[in-house]
Amino acid sequence: MSTPAPSTAARGTPSLRWSLVVPVKVLAKAKTRMSAAAGPHREALALAVAADTVAAALRCDRVRDVIVVTDDPLPAAELAALGARIVPDVPDAGLNPALVHGAGRGRELSPDAGVGALSADLPALRPDELARVLDAAGNAPESFVPDAAGIGTTLYTARPGVPFSPAFGGDSRTAHRARGAREILLPGTDSVRRDVDTPEDLRAALALGTGPRTAEIASRLPSLA
């Protein structure tokens, strides 16, 4: 059973800082399920969603670094300008190896920080909600946040010194549970769970309130008017 973990801040102890790894696909292959709705704006939408996600994570006071793993020079340049550190996908062996590679860079930069893998598809992300989730994650060796559909995962974390073993892809909620990671379900943290893969997801994110880049691109999409 999932139970909310107490905040380290609430217990009066210093909050753990985190290095978050955000995987960003080559834009030509991103948001394919949005093709019909987004049309010629699909790649711009994928970049906007990633940029709003990274910008929100960088504003979270629990986050020390955001490490973007990507082989696409366009998001690399835009996200670096926001303050993210860019790491190429050297393993080139799929999502989880890319995340492990990025987490290794995070641990080199900040050995005393926790490491986490954050979805690039969270355009409504709120820094304060992310901070609450990360405080809860600090109370378990490994933790994860399920997506809004209850099937996937939007955030996976490992404390300092704990092996970083993400299991993204398919029913990753079940996979992370099976590996013993603690599930975090806190009230009032919908923005951390609201990933965007479909037009319906985007409508739900817009209802929560997305970042400005996603909102601007969405305003160009007749199907969402």
> Is 39 annotated for ligand binding?
no
Structural domain includes residue 177: yes
For residue 5, being part of any structural domain is answered with no
Residue 14 pLDDT: 59
**Alpha carbon distance 151, 211 (integer Å):** 24
Residue 11 within any structural domain of the chain: no
Q: How many domains does the chain have?
A: 1
Question: Known binder of ligand: residue 35?
Answer: no
Q: Which two tokens stand for residue 52?
A: 């709003």
50 found inside a domain: yes
Whether 12 has a binding-site annotation, put simply, is no
**Which CATH number goes with the domain that contains 126?**
3.90.550.10
List CB contacts of 145: < 8 A, sequence separation 6 or more.
133, 153, 154, 155, 156, 183, 184, 185, 189, 192, 193
* Cα 34 to Cα 200: distance, rounded to the nearest angstrom: 10
- 86 within domain boundaries: yes
Contacts 24+ apart (CB under 8 A), 215-221: 216/48, 217/38, 217/41, 217/44, 217/45, 217/48, 218/45, 220/41, 221/37, 221/38, 221/39, 221/41, 221/45
Task: Supply the pLDDT for residue 157.
Answer: 98
Residue 219: the pLDDT is: 96
Range of the domain at 167: 18-219
Would you say residue 159 lies in a domain? Answer: yes
Is residue 61 situated within a structural domain? yes
Q: In this structure, is residue 88 part of a structural domain?
A: yes
Residue 5 has a pLDDT of 44
pLDDT, tens digit only, all 225 positions of the chain: 344 444 433 443 458 999 999 999 999 999 999 999 999 999 999 999 999 999 999 999 999 999 999 999 999 999 999 999 999 999 999 999 999 999 999 999 999 999 999 999 999 999 999 999 999 999 999 999 999 999 999 999 999 999 999 999 999 999 999 999 999 999 999 999 999 999 999 999 999 999 999 999 999 999 886
